């Protein structure tokens, strides 16, 4: 392929009560796993963000990014995704510029508009303001990283004749996520690429690039792949089924896939895997399906997989990681 694709892992650092591990061992264990992943050949690590979750879903992906960047040499680190409307974009610009500088430009910022009322209430933002908050936030980020005065005046933010320093030497990419058409079209219009959840919306995104007078190669697709990849994927699904069920049902409860009162929970693991975003692949299937996707969408730049499902023992996730590294990645890179 003319443009190499990175293959990575996706972490949410959830630690549910029914499988709880002390956080002061939980974090070091997973940071060590990420360091091992780089040695196995994974190219990227992606972190996501939520707040006030009983299971400790990470509220601080930029702090974790700094820890990961300090433990790795080549691996790219990014967010898939941060909830930009909840933040002061100037502070995000400062932190991300710092991450870029300390890592030799190995950090990229993925953002989204969010959907949980609880989070917006606490951070004193209105859900109805999400489109303008995210678009103005992205514009402020871009201006902040030029090293020149920002001078921005919008509906939601005012930033005066102030330069944000230090400016990054390698300007981070800004990726925007979403699952509905207006959000995907916004990514084509204002961002450097699109964060696709489970492969959703890649065709809409590429069409929107063309509609905005861009070429397909002008926008990156960063694909979070929900496939469970193992030598015996059905047996693997049976083993981790309770963790997978928890994973999808918590997102449903929060409204990730539509209004919670209109989106029923899955009753059991088998139903979650069959009706959710999960697919069961062995190495041959993974190589075939992923190559097909990359041929169909030549602007895919990164494909990453859930490293751990919530509460799953680290060694269980590490076994899948090693299987992917040994049986899948070498064949994709031929």
**DSSP per residue over 164-229, as a string?**
-SSPPSSPPPEEEE-SSHHHHHHHHHHSSEEEEETTTTHHHHHHHHHHTT--GGGSEEEEEE--EE
| Paired tokens of 74 | 């080549």
Radius of gyration for the alpha carbons in the chain, expressed in angstroms and rounded: 19
Show pLDDT as tens, one digit a residue, over the chain (334 residues): 446 999 999 999 999 999 999 999 999 999 999 999 999 999 999 999 999 999 999 999 999 999 999 999 999 999 999 999 999 999 999 999 999 999 999 999 999 999 999 999 999 999 999 999 999 999 999 999 999 999 999 999 999 999 999 999 999 999 999 999 999 999 999 999 999 999 999 999 999 999 999 999 999 999 999 999 999 999 999 999 999 999 999 999 999 999 999 999 999 999 999 999 999 999 999 999 999 999 999 999 999 999 999 999 999 999 999 999 999 999 999 8
**DSSP per residue over 117-172, as a string?**
HHHHHHTT--GGGHHHHHHHHHHHHHHHTTTSB--EE-SS-EE-S-B-SSPPSSPP
Give me the torsion for CA of 320, 200, 290, 274, rounded to 10°.
50
pLDDT tens digits for range 143-202: 999 999 999 999 999 999 999 999 999 999 999 999 999 999 999 999 999 999 999 999
Report the pLDDT value the prediction gives residue 334, as an integer from 0 to 100.
Answer: 85
Percent share of the chain, pLDDT over 70: 99
Among 256, 263, 243, residue whose Cα is nearest residue 307:
243
Query: How far is 59 from 72, CA to CA, in rounded Å?
Result: 22
Query: How far is 89 from 73, CA to CA, in rounded Å?
Result: 28
* Contact predicate 60/87, CB 8 Å: no
């Amino acid at each position: 392929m003319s443009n190499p694709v990175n293959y990575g892992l996706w972490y949410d650092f959830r630690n549910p009560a029914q499988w709880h591990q002390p956080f002061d061992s939980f974090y070091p264990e997973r940071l060590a796993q990420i360091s091992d992943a780089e040695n196995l050949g994974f190219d990227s690590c992606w972190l996501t963000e939520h707040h006030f979750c009983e299971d400790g879903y990470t509220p601080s992906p930029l702090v974790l990014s700094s820890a990961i960047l300090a433990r790795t040499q080549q691996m790219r680190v990014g967010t898939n995704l941060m909830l930009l409307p909840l933040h002061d974009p100037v502070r995000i610009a400062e932190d991300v510029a710092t991450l870029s500088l300390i890592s030799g430009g190995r950090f990229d910022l993925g953002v989204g508009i969010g959907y949980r009322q609880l989070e917006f209430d606490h951070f004193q933002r209105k859900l109805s303001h999400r489109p303008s908050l995210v678009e103005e936030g992205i514009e402020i980020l871009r201006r902040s990283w030029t090293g020149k005065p920002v001078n921005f005046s919008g509906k939601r933010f005012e930033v005066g004749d102030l330069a944000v320093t230090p400016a990054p030497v390698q300007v981070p990419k800004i990726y925007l996520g979403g699952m509905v058409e207006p959000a995907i079209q916004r990514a084509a219009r204002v961002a450097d690429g699109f964060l696709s959840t489970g492969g959703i919306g890649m065709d809409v995104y590429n069409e929107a690039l063309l509609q905005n007078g861009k070429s397909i190669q002008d926008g990156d697709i960063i694909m979070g792949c929900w496939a469970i990849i193992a030598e015996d994927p059905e047996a693997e699904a049976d083993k981790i089924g309770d963790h997978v069920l928890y994973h999808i049902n918590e997102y449903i409860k929060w409204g990730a896939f539509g209004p919670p009162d209109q989106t029923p929970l899955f009753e059991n693991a088998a139903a979650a895997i069959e009706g959710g975003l999960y697919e069961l692949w062995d190495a041959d299937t993974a190589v075939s399906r992923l190559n097909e996707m990359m041929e169909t969408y030549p602007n895919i730049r990164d494909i990453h997989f859930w490293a751990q499902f919530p509460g799953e023992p680290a060694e269980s996730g590490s076994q899948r990681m090693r299987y992917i590294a040994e049986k899948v990645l070498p064949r994709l890179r031929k």
